[in-house]
């Protein structure tokens, strides 16, 4: 009897310690997984045309660690001088400003790259007159290393020349403006802005107009007549040489509200903008419930107070879509070379 009581007491004591003591076994706690905070790109910022160069992507995580994401990331370059050829390697096939892009789930990064001939440099700047920046000004190298290179200023007046060094001569010219000649010494990538002046006071063209553009190209023979000839109401606001052109009755005038144009003396120029990636048109019209027409190109001509006429180098795009937005691949036909703004 004495032995049985001791055994029960011992069992009770063991059970008490196991249930109530702080030193018993615990279940392990699972830590939260590290999250990706950012991604960065490493590689050469300046490369020669014709070369293939490797870029790497590194992820920075919430626990302070980093990981190489080069092979698992998605790479691309929407810029003209570079093409992705696999695994973060990019072929540089022409001079110019490029950009390497990388994407991983939830994060992305971009890295600027200049493609340029070794031993030469990029010269860039902005073209302005008294009214602001000036687009479509021709900038050409007339002497020194890079002679014969030329480019045009963009919609915001910017230009860039790739492949100059030492003492070089530049010429800036545009219809209606006095030609500018200047000398520049280039020893590194640099900036040189250029001021130009119209040869005479600009013609006054503010007010209401109608733009008339047509296509008679054989490829448009099956299009309906309204798709082949557009007569579009336009309003023009003028400040010095700068013009803002709007098409108030167009069914769609996409991201650009007030297309920039220019008049210097009587010389008129304008770009009907088009971007196929974003389907961005200066002028896009819905001519029926399932038909759309976009017009794009460069207009240059001569203006009076009652008429603006000249040359259009561009295209008509004809969409057939019943959606509330043009979709699919358009049929494209060259625009006729003549255009007219009339009062």
Beta bridge mates, 6: none
> Residue written as tokens 């392990």?
28
Residues 248 and 38: their CA atoms lie apart, in Å, by 44
Asked whether this chain's domains 36-115 and 121-195 adopt the same fold, the reply is yes
CA 122 to chain centre: 20
Residues 77 and 277: their CA atoms lie apart, in Å, by 14
Quick one: CATH architecture of 121-195?
A: Sandwich (2.60)
Residues 189 and 183: their CA atoms lie apart, in Å, by 16
pLDDT digits (tens, 9 = 90+) for 257-306: 557 799 999 999 998 988 777 777 888 899 999 999 999 999 999 999 99
**232 and 250 Cβ atoms separated by less than 8 Å:** yes
Pick the CATH number of 36-115 from 3.40.50, 1.10.3470, 2.60.40, 2.30.30: 2.60.40
Q: How high is the pLDDT of residue 26?
A: 59
Q: CA torsion, points 191, 194, 195, 200, in degrees to nearest 10?
A: -160
What count of Cα atoms within 13 Å lies in the side-chain half-sphere of residue 323? Answer: 6
Check whether 32 has a pLDDT greater than 90: no
Reported as a pLDDT band with limits 50, 70 and 90, residue 78 is confident
pLDDT digits (tens, 9 = 90+) for 130-157: 999 999 999 999 999 999 999 999 989 9
- State the Rg of the chain over Cα: 32
pLDDT digits (tens, 9 = 90+) for 217-261: 999 999 999 999 999 999 999 999 999 999 987 766 544 555 779
- For residue 187, CA distances in Å to 21, 168, 206 come to 79, 11, 45
What count of Cα atoms within 13 Å lies in the side-chain half-sphere of residue 164? Answer: 29
- For residue 279, CA distances in Å to 231, 262, 293, 294, 330 come to 22, 24, 12, 10, 11
Check whether 9 has a pLDDT greater than 50: no
Q: How high is the pLDDT of residue 74?
A: 97
Of 11-15, 67-71, 299-303, 307-311, which range is least confident? 11-15
Residues 155 and 275: their CA atoms lie apart, in Å, by 14
Q: Where are the domains of the chain?
A: 36-115, 121-195, 207-342
Mean residue pLDDT across the chain = 89
């Amino acid at each position: 009897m004495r032995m049985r009581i001791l055994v029960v007491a011992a069992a009770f004591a063991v059970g008490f310690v196991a249930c109530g003591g702080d030193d018993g076994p615990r279940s392990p706690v699972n830590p939260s997984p590290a999250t990706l905070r950012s991604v960065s790109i490493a590689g050469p910022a300046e490369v020669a045309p014709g070369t293939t160069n490797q870029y790497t992507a590194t992820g920075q995580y919430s626990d302070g660690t980093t990981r190489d994401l080069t092979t698992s990331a998605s790479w691309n370059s929407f810029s003209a001088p570079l093409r992705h050829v696999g695994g973060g390697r990019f072929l540089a096939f022409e001079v110019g400003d490029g950009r390497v892009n990388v994407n991983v789930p939830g994060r992305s990064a971009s890295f600027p790259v200049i493609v340029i001939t070794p031993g030469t440099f990029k010269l860039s700047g902005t073209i302005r007159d008294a009214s602001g920046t000036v687009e479509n000004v021709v900038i050409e190298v007339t002497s020194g290393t890079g002679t014969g290179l030329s480019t045009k200023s963009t919609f915001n007046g910017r230009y860039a020349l790739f492949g100059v060094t030492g003492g070089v001569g530049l010429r800036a010219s545009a219809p209606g403006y006095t030609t500018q000649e200047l000398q520049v010494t280039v020893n590194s990538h640099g900036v040189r802005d250029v001021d130009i002046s119209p040869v005479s006071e600009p013609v006054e063209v503010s007010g209401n107009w109608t733009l008339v553009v047509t296509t008679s190209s054989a490829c448009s023979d099956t299009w309906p007549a309204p798709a082949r000839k557009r007569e579009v109401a336009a309003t023009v606001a003028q400040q010095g040489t700068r013009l803002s052109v709007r098409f108030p009755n167009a069914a769609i005038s996409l991201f650009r509200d007030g297309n920039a144009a220019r008049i210097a003396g009587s010389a008129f120029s304008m770009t009907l903008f088009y971007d196929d990636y974003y389907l961005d048109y200066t002028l896009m019209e819905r001519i029926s419930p399932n038909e759309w027409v976009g017009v794009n190109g460069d207009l240059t001509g001569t203006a009076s107070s009652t008429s603006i006429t000249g040359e259009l180098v561009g295209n008509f795009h004809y969409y057939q879509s019943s959606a509330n937005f043009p979709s699919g691949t358009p049929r494209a036909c060259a625009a006729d070379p003549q255009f007219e703004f009339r009062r």
